[in-house]
Chains A and B, each alone.
Chain A
Amino acid sequence: MAGFNFKLIKNPLSKENPITVQVLGICSALAVTAKLQPAFVMALSVTVVVAFSNLIISYLRNTIPPRIRIIVQLVIVSLLVILVDQVLKAFVYDVSKQLSVFVGLIITNCIVMGRLEAFAMSNKPLDSFLDGIGNGLGYAVILITIGVVRELFGSGSLWGYQIIPDSFYEMGYQNNSLMIMPPMALILVGIIIWVHRARNKELCEK
């Protein structure tokens, strides 16, 4: 153990971002980002699930028979996802209702299985845990960015509080209802990827 390896947290935030570079987890990024609060809770849930499933799998990695490793990973991931779902239902019921099936679908979120296969199966627990946190945060950054834009322009509020004053509406300003539909999230993801690649030329495919 050489202590904390901060690269493991920093890299997924930008150059190895799970959404914009690896293009994983797009489905939930479209579905839960119409408002900021569910986007935040979803990002937090995914971070918790990735980090702890990485940690557990990394501890078990030398005992897992290779032939059933995917099944073992799935059991651990489902276990954590169901726990997260139950906790949300118990303590933040409103948000849990908005997220509906998407919490359960974290199980199929490619980021989780991707990190388990690519990292946790061959690295030490602490490193794996940090890798999980890093990738969760990388996912969170994009979700929250999209959530802010969509809620601000789609509903005129942030975190449920009205931001755009009534006087704007009286002058004829209208919320953009395309913002609250999933296609707009896809367009926003596209714009983020575009900007990101324009600034980091090494990410562009030849």
Chain B
Amino acid sequence: MFSNRYIFIYATVLVIVSAAILTLASVGLKPYQDKNIRVEKMQQLLGAVGIESTPKDAEELFQKYFVEQHAVNAKGEIVASIVNGKQTTGSISPFSLDTKKQLALYKANDASASLPIYICMKDGKKSYVVPVMGNGLWGPIWGNLAFSEDLNTIVGVNFDHKGETPGLGAEIALPDFQNQFKGKQIFENNNFTSVMVIKRADKANPHQVDAVSGGTITSNGVTDMLKNCLQFYIPYFNSLKK
């Protein structure tokens, strides 16, 4: 039979060999995986301004339309910028900022928190795109909002989610829900109002959109997400308006 010594050595060797194989696979495949994540992010940003893209052409379209990327802090100051692919201010890449981590810093009143804002030039029209992130019923929800040049009117949004209920909360990822946001406004006489996702919304009200029926908690999640994340950008928007 097998001695204890044999069992120990067997287990140790097995685990070390497995770990080595996994390390190799992880290191070898990392560049491909990172690229997928980058491309997905670009596709979502392009989606917010209404540009259709495929994983193949997303990078090219992104470079073409998103001419400026800035990282702004909660005071509204720009801490880093990339204009036409060149770093002009600071040293970090706004694109690589982790929205979730930065929002947590912002919540903790950490002055180092900064979030990206993307400026898109399409058909001579300028739009500002900001990422948002919050919680739905089962897990995180996130998205991007595109504002027109007045920094008030929404020209497009896209939302995605980790695992909301299909047919109910998951409807936030569909065009029917997202198209409602077009033309809505986040300011009323220069006071921040955000956009509320509520039941029986008044279509004429520029700060309300209709909630998803059966998806109340996800809808409330969208309302909170917009309010919390847009709050961060208000000082920056105000500084641009001056």
Contacts and interface: CB of A to CB of B under 8 A. Distances in A.
A binds B: yes
A2 interface: no
B166 A93 contact: no
**Most chain B beta-carbon contacts within 10 A, residue among A34, A64, A83, A100:** A83
Contacts of B22: 79, 82-83
A63 B10 contact: yes
B26 A86 contact: yes
A53 to B, nearest CB: 12
Main secondary structure on B side of the interface with A? helix
Interface in A50-79: 63-68, 71-72, 75-76, 78-79
B15 A91 contact: no
Contact of A180 (B18, B32, B167): B167
A79 B18 contact: yes
Contact of A90 (B15, B32, B55): B32
B7 interface: yes
A72 B14 contact: yes
A82 B6 CA distance: 27
Contacts, number: 57
Contacts of B6: 65
Interface residues of A, number: 26
A67 B7 contact: yes
B33 A68 contact: no
B204 interface: no
B36 interface: yes
B6 to A, nearest CB: 7
Given A75-B18, A181-B166, A65 B32 contact: no
A177 B10 contact: no
B21 A90 contact: no
A90 B14 contact: no
A104 to B, nearest CB: 13
Interface in A73-111: 75-76, 78-79, 82-83, 86-87, 89-91, 93-94, 100
A34 B14 contact: no
Interface in A145-162: none
A68 B166 CA distance: 42
Contacts of B108: none
Contacts of B55: 93-94
Interface in B1-38: 2, 6-7, 10-11, 14-15, 18, 21-22, 25-26, 29, 32-33, 36-37
A75 B6 CA distance: 17
A116 B160 CA distance: 40
A136 to B, nearest CB: 21
A79 B32 CA distance: 20
A86 B29 contact: yes
A67 B14 contact: no
B163 interface: yes
Nearest to B163: A100
A30 to B, nearest CB: 13
Contacts of A34: 166
B33 to A, nearest CB: 5
Nearest to B36: A93
Contacts of A100: 162-163
B210 interface: no
**Most chain B beta-carbon contacts within 10 A, residue among A65, A76, A89, A177:** A65
Nearest to A101: B163
B40 interface: yes
Interface of B: 2, 6-7, 10-11, 14-15, 18, 21-22, 25-26, 29, 32-33, 36-37, 40, 55, 162-163, 166-167
Given A34-B166, A63-B10, A67-B7, 12 more contacts: A65-B6, A65-B10, A68-B11, A75-B15, A86-B26, A89-B29, A89-B33, A90-B29, A90-B32, A91-B32, A93-B40, A180-B167
